[in-house]
Structure 1
């Protein structure tokens, strides 16, 4: 030990022999005070480990060797994890062992110089045992958590893949008859004698058919595959934003919403303009619906700018805070904050943004809920 003169062979033998004579008593006291139940599946191993720990202590007193300790901790840690022992209990039990061994040393008749060396050696041994035990315990727990997370991610990925396949199959099965129905409605409309009542019914049918068509398109987007009809081009997102704001302006007026827009010019991105318009429209629509019942001032903020080779879009509203349990999974299919919503809108938004190599996030607090979108800035290709 640092600062303490080493003991002679005779003194070491006397110290080791002292603890050997108390070996069984130390183990019994430890089992009486440690947080270990007899129902523990490894109880017999725990008793053996207590004996092994004391045997190691004797060897450590004679000649300190860390490898002896690490070998023991590699055995103990997996057993304690399998027995679902909390790490606090794990630490407590080791320290109880330290306390009992120290008590046996202090109640001995060792001379002061020997006593100091023995106590320091005991504490150094248990310090090392505690350090390597926690290190091994934590390392194994990290592996278990990582494996569980990987399993959850794989299950989640498989579920979304299956959902996408079902959605695509469902959408295609409905799209063909829907096209036929729309065609026959058009024929009926052209053959019927126009009157106010008939025109009203035809108008309702057409509106509902359009709604159904939109839902089918949303299901198709859940398949995660780039569609054959995607129109990929470089375009200015700032222009799209202004167009969507103009389109939504009557709704803003009707709902008495104060719109605050801060949109930088020339925000070039590459992708399908109509799909990204759908994302913007969906988020703005959700914001309007959320604010309609708000008694105080209703605010929607739209901010778009360039940062770190990304085009960033933030759409905020001062509606109710989204509950934490919904916020965590809000982009998952069929998760919705609306009483009559399908829960497809935001999952489709996420799908579209990710198809454009982008990212969509949401933050919600008592003041504002903000959807943040980032998409790589497009580089204009110059022809040679």
Structure 2
């Protein structure tokens, strides 16, 4: 087909669409997925007419440049109307089908019909592509803004909780120190009996537990970098020390421990804080396994990895952490225990990050593993 014939074909197709525009839009409105209370119902009717206008322009000029303005308008309105993208695409394809049907039932010759289908196919494909592209970009922008707002709110709340935690912790620690001192004096003055010794032991244990909770609150409130005295730490020796310390608990709860600890693995930091991390995770593992029916295992390994990091794994074969908690398990006040404070793992994460390290968790039906990495020295 030469250019003059092609031009004549486009003129005839454009005239056909002008004559049929009203009936196309009316039939389209009868078949689209669009609620009557749609806030842009009248605009949708206008968009239907404009779609045919742009199709006519494409046939006459061969250009799709003007289509972007229409698809931007449609996408914005569908976003504000909270329309489903599936319904959105369906409605465009309904319009495509109606145009094809009217074209094929027209009195135009077969060659003109075939030519028209090919050109209109190109137009409607581009209409769908640009509309969905605009719709998706707007949707992503809205989601990004919401996520940013949520993160800012979350950060503000954590900051406030940290300040409250620090305030309460200091208020509790001062009278606790006095109480401990007077208990010590009472122990020296009173006549000791087996019963009184038992009572004082309980008091001391509970006081120690309370002190640990207060320490966790204070850790939670320290959002700055590591300011404690730094020293060279043997992670190998520290891990073996904590495993020996926990051995009575392992024996009491029938837990089998499997350890592979590489020697001479050193990092820099505060040994007491690193001990706190190891102790928290090992205690959590013991508490989880204490209610586990079947063989109870804790696997521990320490090695130097290829990234010049000390890599420590502590795994237990107890119940997996639920998926809905797994992503937030290091957040303050998130816990899998019915009576837990939800501070232990949050404190661990903060200590590890203050040591320029990372801590991660994975959990399957086979085991739950905490992976901790510290820079080697």
Above 0.5 in TM-score?
yes
What CA distance in whole angstroms lies between the structure 1 residues aligned with 2:121 and 2:95? 11
What CA distance in whole angstroms lies between the structure 2 residues aligned with 1:229 and 1:137? 49
Q: 2:38 aligns to what SS in structure 1?
A: coil
Tell me the residue number matched to 1:325: 324
Tell me the residue number matched to 2:52: 54
- Segment drifting more, 22-31 vs 173-182: 173-182
Tell me the residue number matched to 2:22: 24
Change (3 A) 1:353 1:258: same
Tell me the residue number matched to 1:381: none
Q: 1:260 aligns to what SS in structure 2?
A: strand
What CA distance in whole angstroms lies between the structure 2 residues aligned with 1:179 and 1:197? 24
2:266 corresponds to 1:268: yes
- Segment drifting more, 247-256 vs 187-196: 187-196
Contact 1:231 1:273 in 2 (8 A): no
2:115 corresponds to 1:105: no
Q: 2:56 aligns to what SS in structure 1?
A: helix
Structure 1 alignment gaps of length 5 or more = 379-384
Tell me the residue number matched to 1:152: 150
Structure 2 alignment gaps of length 5 or more = none
Contact 2:334 2:342 in 1 (8 A): yes
Contact 1:7 1:114 in 2 (8 A): no
Contact 2:225 2:354 in 1 (8 A): no
Alpha-carbon shift at residue 180 of structure 1 (Å): 1.4
Contact 1:224 1:355 in 2 (8 A): no
Task: Give CA-to-partner distance per residue, 1:230-249, whole Å, 9 cap, x none.
Answer: 33222111111010011111
Alpha-carbon shift at residue 176 of structure 1 (Å): 1.1
2:354 corresponds to 1:341: no
Alpha-carbon shift at residue 306 of structure 1 (Å): 1.6
What CA distance in whole angstroms lies between the structure 2 residues aligned with 1:87 and 1:141? 10
What CA distance in whole angstroms lies between the structure 1 residues aligned with 2:301 and 2:32? 60
Root mean square deviation of aligned Cα: 1.8
Change (3 A) 1:11 1:327: closer
2:360 corresponds to 1:371: no
Change (3 A) 1:50 1:143: same
What CA distance in whole angstroms lies between the structure 2 residues aligned with 1:342 and 1:15? 73
Tell me the residue number matched to 1:382: none
**Counterpart selection for 2:206 from 190, 205, 208:** 208
**TM alignment of 1:132-147, pairs within 5 A:** 132-147=130-145
Q: 1:202 aligns to what SS in structure 2?
A: helix
Alpha-carbon shift at residue 9 of structure 1 (Å): 4.0
Tell me the residue number matched to 2:281: 283
Alpha-carbon shift at residue 263 of structure 1 (Å): 1.5
**TM alignment of 1:59-138, pairs within 5 A:** 59-138=57-136
- Segment drifting more, 319-328 vs 67-76: 319-328
What CA distance in whole angstroms lies between the structure 2 residues aligned with 1:85 and 1:169? 48
Contact 1:259 1:301 in 2 (8 A): yes
Contact 1:4 1:117 in 2 (8 A): no
- Segment drifting more, 354-363 vs 295-304: 354-363
What CA distance in whole angstroms lies between the structure 2 residues aligned with 1:18 and 1:247? 89
Tell me the residue number matched to 2:297: 299
What CA distance in whole angstroms lies between the structure 2 residues aligned with 1:152 and 1:22? 50
What CA distance in whole angstroms lies between the structure 2 residues aligned with 1:6 and 1:95? 31
Q: 1:66 aligns to what SS in structure 2?
A: coil
- Count how many residue pairs are aligned between Structure 1 and Structure 2: 376
What CA distance in whole angstroms lies between the structure 2 residues aligned with 1:362 and 1:67? 51
Q: 1:22 aligns to what SS in structure 2?
A: helix
